[in-house]
Chains A and B, each alone.
Chain A
Amino acid sequence: MSKDSAIVAHTISVLVANEPGILARVVGLFSGRGYNIESLTVAETNAKESQSRITIVTKGTPMIIEQIKAQLDRLVPVYRVRDLTVEGPHIERELALVKVKGVGEKRVEALRLADVFRAKVIDAKSDSFVFEVTGNTDKVQTFIGLMEELGLVDVVRTGIVAMSRGGEAL
């Protein structure tokens, strides 16, 4: 596959004015133009300035990624768009709550693995646990995979939040 047609995942950080409709604008842009969203997180990050940070993981050819960034930047309430994937080293984290039901050996094994993954028990009943696991997507994915054999009944994930390494702000 040539460089121009290779499809690569990019993590994009968007600083926006926290105003009604902003998320609809961003999501509508993706659906309307046929871009895909692998993951999207949003929350207010600066109450004084009323700003939110959106982290989007999307996939596309270099031309599509460039287009996505330009389209995002064009939205009136968008302050800044940064492509963390191309702008140097960055850290990604997500959080999952993982519910596992079972007794006996399986229950013990689940607890042991949770310890290995540094997942916290945040709810426990005699036949179930809810684990909280944080990490990069690979780690979270692997943990969930392991739980499947041990009585996984439910999962929620936050999607990725990401930030550049070093002392610079967005």
Chain B
Amino acid sequence: MLKPEESATTGADLLVKALIDEEVEVVFGYPGGAVLPIYDSLFKQNRLRHILVRHEQAAVHAAEGYARSTGKVGVVLVTSGPGATNAVTGLTDALMDSIPIVCLTGQVPTHLIGNDAFQEADTTGITRPCTKHNYLVKAVSDLARTVHEAFYVARSGRPGPVVIDLPKDVLMNKHEYTAPPKVAVTHKSYRPQTQPDPKKIEQAIEMIANAKRPVFYAGGGIINAGPKASKLLTQLVHLTGYPVTNTLMGLGAFPASDKQFLGMLGMHGTYEANLAMHGCDVMINIGARFDDRITGNLTKFSPGSKKIHVDIDPSSINKNVRVDLAIVGDAGIVLDELVKAWKAKQPKVDQKALKAWWAEIETWRARNCLAYKPNTQVIKPQYALERLYHHIKDRDHYITTEVGQHQMWAAQFLKFEQPNRWMTSGGLGTMGYGFPAALGVQIAHPEALVIDVAGEASILMNIQELSTAAQYRLPVKIFVLNNHYMGMVRQWQELLHGGRYSESYSESLPDFVKVAEAFGAKGLRCDDPAKLDDTIKEMIELKHPVIVDVIVDEKENCFPMIPSGAAHNEMLLGPDDKQSAQVSEEGMVLV
């Protein structure tokens, strides 16, 4: 037995050891005074890889991309004060989209806390509403245990970001190490419920089996529950023969090429998905949260249906929409129970009713709501994405996006056959998310083709990360749909504000080709539909980070669209529908 002094190590060394024991491989970070002891510990080892970003917000988004594409916890390391405040947007993004993150923030030494010391910020105060939980470690003896608990909290239940605030003296004081508990931590007060109530499984099977116009509505919770949950969802959907739609966050939870898939639902979802939601008699929500982008006008939302809601977080249930059967539990476990129960019971579905329902859905599908007017002169953004998909579909690929029209078109025109392949900022809608997220994805999947579908405005929000891409030779592709507008803002101004395009023109854009070159990346440009295929092929072949500046139609709008405050059956299908867009005053105040 070693005496305590002999086995004791500094807080910083303990931290690194704890991270390694939590099977962390990569840390995304940026140094500063308060975290210098941690950087010193990192320097002395070679198990943990540190990726130096160029802005702390990007560190969090990169960790999100890493986490969403692997199912692991993403780890961030930033300094006190400005390092921590810069991370806040990323943390909020991860909270809204249920992404597991552990963010280590430096802090001034404990004896200076509260003194307005240099680079002091009340990090736990600032991040309390934008994390799942946060800790201020006041003694080195608590450090290792806190790290293990933080990982448990971040990844279990409904995943989310956790901050550990680390005063500098705690990092320098010495203590013995505490290994992670062998069995999953059983926390005193935090006990997420993963196992569903068996009685409710029976009730659900009965409701599902008796449905005449059913629809599965599956969301990001399926992705959170791991790839097995997607397989089980697919199995259940096939067993029942029912239609299924995915939220933006759920894309990939069900294979897009499957006949039973209706596409995405919601504000920019497909006609068939939204009308199926509106007209169904039984809705089976698994891991989706009845977000306002989905429901539109709540009072007119799917008025005739009985609703089942499976969610691991009781606060998601009956928050926006009252449901008839609530099942609290992990989507993977619940789906497993449902599949088993369905197979055991072999319930008789009303095939005649189901056939009639599918026939109705097919008439909606026949409207071909994603159709757009082709053009040989200018590149239509939809066309650009169709061609992109054509060239990547047989390759191992991952897609991230920024926020705006391009994001919605990406959701509509790229097809996701598997979970964890699609990373987008859904809940917070953070412009600047996609590029750093793509870097995180590329770190996790070095051989894969990783593409950030971007807008020319969004990409400028974290363009500095080209330097990170160059440093680590991350061959991420930035596919800019350059419409010279904050297109999504322009579209709302056209529809709601009489076409007064106040401050939404992308003035004084840089030359993206030169920007790429200045950072040591490659730049390509294309403004001719006939040359687009060659440009995309060249982009894919290049082993460098690449910006492709695709000059697209400036005035194209994203349809279908359910205007704010409207119901699913009041959606606009295309530019010709614009006249009938009667946005109510209530609708105008909505975002």
Residues of A within 8 A of B (CB): 16-17, 20-21, 24-25, 28, 32, 63, 66-67, 70-71, 73-79
The 3 closest A-B pairs by CB, nearest first: A70-B315, A76-B133, A79-B189
Contact yes or no, A76 B132, CB < 8 A: yes
Contact yes or no, B187 A71, CB < 8 A: no
Contact yes or no, A32 B129, CB < 8 A: yes
Contact yes or no, B128 A28, CB < 8 A: yes
9 contacts between A and B (CB under 8 A): A63-B318, A66-B318, A67-B315, A70-B314, A70-B315, A71-B315, A73-B314, A76-B189, A78-B189
Interface string of B214-245 (1 = CB under 8 A from A): 00000000000000000000000000000000
**Bound-state Cα–Cα, A75 to B129, Å:** 11
Q: Which of B124, B189, B313 has the most CB of A within 10 A?
A: B189
In the complex, which residues of chain B have a beta carbon less than 8 angstroms from the beta carbon of A78? 189
Measured CB to CB, the nearest residue on chain A to B191 is A79
- Number of A-B pairs whose CB atoms are under 8 Å? 43
In the complex, which residues of chain B have a beta carbon less than 8 angstroms from the beta carbon of A28? 128-129
**Bound-state Cα–Cα, A76 to B131, Å:** 11
**Bound-state Cα–Cα, A32 to B127, Å:** 13
Instruction: Please tell me the number of chain B residues within 8 Å of chain A, measured between CB atoms.
Output: 19
B322 within 8 Å of A by Cβ? yes
Q: How far is the CB of B92 from chain A (nearest CB, A)?
A: 12
**CB within 8 A of B153: which of A20, A66, A76?**
A76
**CB-contacts of B100-132 with A (<8 A):** 124-125, 128-129, 132
Contact yes or no, A17 B124, CB < 8 A: no
**Bound-state Cα–Cα, A73 to B312, Å:** 13
| Besides A74-B315, A76-B190, 17 new A-B residue pairs in contact (Cβ under 8 A), listed by A number | A17-B189, A21-B124, A21-B136, A28-B129, A63-B319, A66-B318, A67-B318, A67-B319, A70-B314, A73-B315, A75-B133, A76-B132, A76-B133, A76-B187, A76-B189, A77-B190, A79-B188
Residues of B within 8 A of A (CB): 124-125, 128-129, 132-133, 136, 153, 187-190, 313-315, 317-319, 322
Measured CB to CB, the nearest residue on chain A to B162 is A76
In the complex, which residues of chain B have a beta carbon less than 8 angstroms from the beta carbon of A16? 189
**Bound-state Cα–Cα, A83 to B566, Å:** 36
In the complex, which residues of chain A have a beta carbon less than 8 angstroms from the beta carbon of B318? 63, 66-67
Measured CB to CB, the nearest residue on chain B to A73 is B314
Measured CB to CB, the nearest residue on chain B to A79 is B189
Measured CB to CB, the nearest residue on chain B to A68 is B315
**Bound-state Cα–Cα, A20 to B133, Å:** 13
Q: How far is the CB of B254 from chain A (nearest CB, A)?
A: 28
Q: How far is the CB of B315 from chain A (nearest CB, A)?
A: 4
**CB within 8 A of B125: which of A24, A66, A74?**
A24
Q: How far is the CB of A2 from chain B (nearest CB, A)?
A: 13
**CB within 8 A of A74: which of B136, B187, B188, B313?**
B313
Measured CB to CB, the nearest residue on chain A to B133 is A76
